[in-house]
Chains A and B, each alone.
Chain A
Amino acid sequence: MATSNLHYMGAVEALDLFKKKKLSPVELLDAVIKRADKVQPKINSFSQTFYDEARDAAKKAEAKFARGARTRPLEGLPLAVKDEEGIKGLPSSSGCIAFKDAIADETSYIVERCFNAGAIMHARTTTPEFSCAGFTHTKLWGVTRNPWNLDYTPGGSSGGTGATLAAGAAPLGTGSDIGGSIRIPASCSGVVGFKPPYGRNPQGHIFNLDFYCHPGPMARSVADCALLQNVMAGPHPRDIATLKPKMRLPLEYKPIKGMKIALSMDLGYCEVDKDVQKNTKAAVQKLRDAGAIVEEVDLQWTWKTLTAAVNYLAHLFGGTLAEVMRSHRHEMTPYAEWFGDFGARTTAMDYIESLDVAGEMYDTLGPIMEKYDALVCPTNAISAVPADFSPTTETIKINGKEVDPFLGWVMTYPFNIMSRCPVLSVPSGHDRKDVPTGLQIVGRTYDDPTVFQIGAAVEEADPWYTKPSRRPKV
């Protein structure tokens, strides 16, 4: 690959070239940093950079490859780490100006695994405040923008990671997802994001006990995403909920011929934009062309799903903000303040009711997943909201109908409720504003490999980023 395009090289390919000594980690990092410097003024996706430390680490990795030493699964690969992941000794602000001087005393388990696997963190990426929204802007870090169209959000809460990947400022990135925060930015930014089944990847307290919540990988290709997922996954002695044994995904995929895939365009109740519908149908056609049988199903879900998710999230996740609210309300963003307030009003009954809805949802999804290998649906109902969207003061209309400004424009949170299902979001196309749209591939509980296999089939028909014409012009 020409040096001018080196920053768009994928992780799997780079590792292969490192091993063959045809490329040095130093070269790749230099290209990535150069690209980052060029795009940051526009997309503003970094909360912190570590270019000097990263260069030192890249030199060490280069030496390892040069002398043929045994190398680790992510040796020498630049990694963008979502700022929300604690790193011992580094700032842990949650994007809130009240905590801009807070320092983490422990490194998150998945980040530790990435570091132990030889990944090189050159930057940490922006999030909304307390990672509680589907867009990425804060008083602390400003507005993060979508490389495909700077007027729009790259999504959230892992929006900094999404924008970074799409812009070529890293080949791999971390995310976390409690209502859609890996998949929303994957969709908005035109990259691949994986929400693993609950328990697959370790988390710290207390979110490891919240079945809506999962850390996971983001990348520009399905194989790169699997590469990173294989490092993150596996039981951990400090996270009681982690599943045993460790699951290892293949990086190459068999054809999907003969697979039976269920399609739900609207999950039974969502308003879905025309461009999203068009791109979803195009993705479905790719699956049919690859030999899969795709049939529309009726999930019979309703807006109760949204109410349940919002109540649950506000109750627990919002509940964690109660203390922050007491002393720092006036320093918080309006959307985080709204979330904390809403949480304080929810009751144990609301929480129980949300669990009831979860049961009802699986009453239809469960039998469908016995009949089909996977379910596909859009990731977001519209491509993206504006980069500086304010849900407390602005509205969203889809097909002329107003929807909930927090979660009404995304279709991810039902699979935080159905969280034992693995979900891969892959790009499905662009909308009329050139903002990407995404497809969710939902697998049977704990059946991670199938969603990667199907994602690979969609990607194979139309790979993104491999040519300059398939990259954003930032």
Chain B
Amino acid sequence: MATTDLTWMGATEALQLFKAKKLSPVEMMDAVIKRAEAVKPSLNPFSNLHFEEAREKAKASESRYAKGKATGALEGVPLVLKEEATIAGLPATSGSLPLKDHVADETLAVVERCFDAGAIMHARTTTPEFSSAVITHSKLWGVTRNPWNPDYTPGGSSGGTASAVAAGVAPIGTGSDIGGSIRVPASTCGLVGFKPPYGRNPEGRIFNMDHYAVEGPLARSVSDCILLQNVMAGPHPRDIASLRPKLTLPTTFKSLNGVKIALSMDLGFIEVSKEVQKNTMDAVAKLRDAGAIVEEVDLGWTPSVKTAAFGHLGHIFGGALGPMLRRHRHELTRYVEFLVDRARDSTAADFLEAQRMVGIMYDTLGPLLERYEVLICPTTAIPAVPADHCPVTGHVEINGKEVEPGFDWVMTWPFNVLGHCPVLSVPSGKGRNGVPTGLQIVGPAYEDAKVFRIGAAIEEADPWFTRPARRPKLATTRKKGK
């Protein structure tokens, strides 16, 4: 099979061919390793490489298939893991210079599940420092770039994973999301990214106690996203908040005929660029063609949502990173310094105000989601910011208005405030600069299948990555100017 085909093959298809013995995990691993080496210089998505071990594991996988032995749900499938997902004995730097020699002593539950299912990690991927931004650059790892246009960011904080998956380095990857960190990179890289409801996937300490924070899958297709999500999901004895019973997503969905969908272009208060609006309406047209009834709604939300979201995040990050800032200020990135400084005076009152906002927001969204199947809105307000954009000093202009450079260009964090809601981000189109845009599909609390049903319908109308014309062009050297 042509290497190009293997580079871009999805996990679901690969597994079928592995089982039919028409393809070996060794062939696939060779192809993606080759691809990883090719894109590394221009995209820089890797924190660590594990090619040799991966090749060994692929051989063992090949043998299991050949002998007809029992195989896991991801047997032999190449997988990239966000560095933040700790693996016992491996570096756990959080992209931070002071922690560059730090090694994890525990493996994150969702990672354990991927490995137990037979997935093979050949690379770990970059993040911003402490996964605290929606871009991906750090003093430790440098700048990670978007395969669709390397001048732009692949988003963050799961930017390395998204860049790698969109570039054909792996069909699936893991991410985590506390303010948008699965969905923003999914959107900028043209991928499918799922932020599950709080408690659906086991989370590590202490973030399993924070309803904003979850682990989730990224992939190039809805079916691959479901495949990985079904491995990650389920109760875990180390995470008390993990829900019972395990929710297994279906892989086929009923038609959308007559299904009512609520649309909010701007969530009531966010400045959204014309090209994102256009791509969003293109996605709406696809849904209408599929038989759905799409109606614009007024959520009644205001900028106080942002104050609340960052009051909460500031309290957590400020509390957790305060000592790090005190001891290592000058080694940290500007954006971490800024975040923790601002959070230093965060009080319980700020945190409680954020909790109040959940109620105020859900007072409209809750009843709305009793009347509509899902809510849809853009994932980001512009396709992406430049790859080396500084979330503190950078400039972001939308519709002629200057907005805050940290988080005003993304529309994801309201659904971390409402973290019990499942959210799927699917591609909605591209910007003038070639960078993809995304659509968020928000379901009622704990009703994951609903968002995949809608996402599958959009994908069916216009699948990405299935042909060369729908993939980023191989970037082995950085293009200047474009």
Contact = CB atoms under 8 A, between A and B. Distances in A.
Given A320-B352, A343-B348, A356-B205, A348 B243 contact: no
Given A237-B367, A244-B447, A211 B237 contact: no
Given A211-B241, A319-B352, 9 more contacts: A210-B355, A237-B369, A241-B445, A316-B352, A319-B351, A348-B319, A351-B319, A362-B240, A366-B237
B345 to A, nearest CB: 10
Interface residues of A, number: 47
B248 to A, nearest CB: 15
Contacts of A421: 240
A205 B346 CA distance: 21
Interface in B205-261: 205-206, 208-211, 235, 237-244
Contacts of B347: 319, 348
Contact of A445 (B235, B352, B445): B235
Contacts of B210: 355
B389 interface: no
A334 interface: no
B420 A240 contact: yes
A206 B358 contact: yes
Given A356-B205, A359-B206, A446 B243 contact: yes
Contacts of B74: none
A363 B205 CA distance: 10
Nearest to A358: B209
B356 interface: yes
Contacts of A239: 362, 366
A206 B244 contact: no
A380 interface: no
Interface string A313-340: 0011011101000000000000000000
17 contacts: A206-B352, A211-B209, A237-B370, A238-B359, A239-B366, A240-B358, A243-B243, A316-B348, A319-B351, A346-B348, A347-B319, A348-B316, A352-B319, A358-B205, A358-B209, A362-B239, A420-B241
A69 interface: no
A201 interface: no
Contacts of A352: 206, 316, 319-320
B243 A370 contact: no
Contact of B355 (A206, A365, A418): A206
Given A208-B359, A237-B367, A355 B348 contact: no
B363 interface: yes
Interface string B308-322: 000000011011101
B217 to A, nearest CB: 22
A36 B137 CA distance: 69
A420 B210 CA distance: 14
Interface in B49-68: none
Contacts of B237: 366-367, 369-370
A322 B349 contact: yes
A205 to B, nearest CB: 3
A204 interface: yes
A322 B239 CA distance: 32
Contacts of B421: 240
B418 interface: yes
B359 A358 contact: no
A211 B348 CA distance: 16
Interface residues of B, number: 45
B343 interface: yes
A205 B358 contact: yes
Contacts of A211: 209, 241
Contact of B348 (A209, A322, A445): A322
Interface of A: 204-206, 208-211, 235, 237-244, 315-316, 318-320, 322, 343-344, 346-349, 351-352, 355-356, 358-359, 362-363, 365-367, 369-370, 418, 420-421, 445-447
B320 A243 contact: no
B316 A237 contact: no
B313 to A, nearest CB: 11
B335 interface: no
Contacts of B319: 347-349, 351-352
Contact of A420 (B206, B240, B346): B240
A240 B362 CA distance: 7
A30 to B, nearest CB: 41
B115 interface: no
Contacts of A238: 359, 362-363, 366-367
Contacts of A445: 235, 240, 242, 244
A362 B209 CA distance: 12
Interface string B250-282: 000000000000000000000000000000000
Nearest to A211: B209
Nearest to A241: B420
A235 B445 CA distance: 9
A210 B356 CA distance: 11
Across the A-B interface, the 6 shortest Cβ-Cβ residue pairs: A205-B359, A348-B319, A319-B348, A359-B205, A355-B206, A352-B319
A9 B206 CA distance: 47
B446 interface: yes
A361 to B, nearest CB: 9
A356 B206 contact: yes
A235 B316 CA distance: 28
A240 B445 contact: yes
Contacts of B363: 238
Contact of B366 (A237, A344, A366, A369): A237
A240 B418 contact: yes
B320 A362 contact: no
A366 B238 CA distance: 6
Interface in B336-376: 343, 346-349, 351-352, 355-356, 358-360, 362-363, 366-367, 369-370
Contacts of A367: 237
A352 B244 CA distance: 26
A373 to B, nearest CB: 14
Contacts of A204: 359
A356 to B, nearest CB: 6
A316 B351 contact: yes
Given A242-B445, A319-B348, A356-B205, A349 B322 contact: yes
A338 to B, nearest CB: 16
Contacts of B360: 205
Contacts of A320: 352
A145 B315 CA distance: 41
A319 B351 CA distance: 9
Contacts of B418: 240
Nearest to A346: B348
Nearest to A206: B355
Contacts of A359: 205-206, 208-209
Q: Name, among B237, B346, B348, B360, the residue most crowded by chain A CB atoms within 10 Å (CB to CB).
A: B348
A366 B240 contact: yes
B446 A351 contact: no
Contacts of B348: 315-316, 318-319, 322, 343-344, 346, 348, 351
Contacts of B356: 205-206
A355 B205 contact: yes
A220 B358 CA distance: 36
Contacts of B359: 204-206, 208-209, 238
A365 B356 CA distance: 32
A315 B319 CA distance: 13
